[in-house]
Amino acid sequence: MSLPSAPLLEAVDVDKVFAIRQGMSVTSFSAVDNASLTLQADHAEIYAVAGESGSGKTTLARMVLGLERPTSGQLSYKGRDVATLSAREKRTWFFSEVQPVFQDPFATFSPLRRVDRYLFETAWHYHREGRSETETYIDETLGVVGLTLAEVRNRYPNELSGGQAQRISIARALITQPSLIVADEPVSMLDASLRMSILNLFKDLKERQRVSVLYITHDLATAYYTADRIAIMLRGWIVESGPVEKVLGDPLHPYTRLLKESVPRADPGESTLLDVDLPTPTIAFPLTGGCKFAARCSEATDRCRREEPADYEVDGRQVKCFLYE
């Protein structure tokens, strides 16, 4: 069903516009604005999407997962436009290839159901093998996340720790043997030590199982620790993207530089949140047509307030700023 030699995931000028009702008037608002990114198919990688609260990360993730349609632009998985897949193609192909992992593992599992039910259901849905083969397969998959079926069997969600529950939700995602996991803030509810073990698990999955991960986070330190490449989002825009050691090690966009200064140490064990003293006036800012960072940028010129910058290719990354024209 996929096209050979196509990228694993390709977003081209993707927009998501929401209508916002304020009293009698309706204004439109771009949660994702002209975003482009590519994950190659020839090797697995961890691609972080980082940005402060409200910058459009989850909206982008939901479009990648086929849960939301782009207002314009194109999102393709293995060369197929996700928005035009039939319900059947989604069910039999796409939803097994692209799997979500969410922030709160307990929201994924009903408190009234044993968690092993979810694993069996997913396995049966995609493999339809006999009972003992399925048990062996589930046990092997749980082994990848450091658990066994014996530990998980007959357990209800309230009998699990947050780390165990998140491992099981990752195991559930792995049952379909996906090529891409879309993980939206998968560790932000876990404490520091568990956070590291889940992030190491993603690295392991990349290396051993060749699973790529779109890692959505508002934590630069874990992005630096985990990802190969990163896109920095600002109010729907991707303002800088490229290899993580370049973008975070030596940021070029004034916004990325400001973010880096506000994160004292890239210590992934510590929670260093992007939101710290960076208020996000998401809706309060009218769209002026200029750079969305101009009002907060020490290097902004009149042109920045009037005109939208293009993406410039500089030193192996893309930077959306006139400084690099």
Residues of this chain that interact with ligand ATP (CB under 6 A) are: 18, 31, 51, 53-59, 218, 282
H-helix or E-strand spanning residue 257: helix 254-262
CB-closest chain residue to Mg ion = 58
Nearer to ligand ATP, 1 or 283 (CB): 283
197, 20 Cβ separation under 8 angstroms: no
247: CB partners within 8 A, 6+ apart: 229, 230, 232, 240, 241, 256, 317
196, 248 Cβ separation under 8 angstroms: no
Nearer to Mg ion, 58 or 96 (CB): 58
**Which residue among 30, 34, 55, 58 contacts Mg ion (CB under 5 A)?**
58
Q: Which two tokens stand for residue 290?
A: 């200029």
Least Å from the CB of residue 215 to ligand ATP = 13
Least Å from the CB of residue 83 to ligand ATP = 17
83, 76 Cβ separation under 8 angstroms: no
Least Å from the CB of residue 122 to Mg ion = 24
Least Å from the CB of residue 279 to ligand ATP = 13
Q: Determine, following the binding rule CB under 5 A, whether residue 76 of this chain makes contact with Mg ion.
A: no
Quick one: which segment of 55-63, 122-130, 222-230, 259-267 binds Mg ion (CB under 5 A)?
Answer: 55-63
43, 119 Cβ separation under 8 angstroms: no
Tell me the CB-side half-sphere exposure of residue 315, using CA atoms within 13 A: 12
Least Å from the CB of residue 173 to ligand ATP = 19
* CA-closest candidate to residue 182, choices 68, 74, 272: 68
What residue 271 binds from ligand ATP, Mg ion, none (CB within 5 to 8 A, per partner kind)? none
Nearer to ligand ATP, 54 or 73 (CB): 54
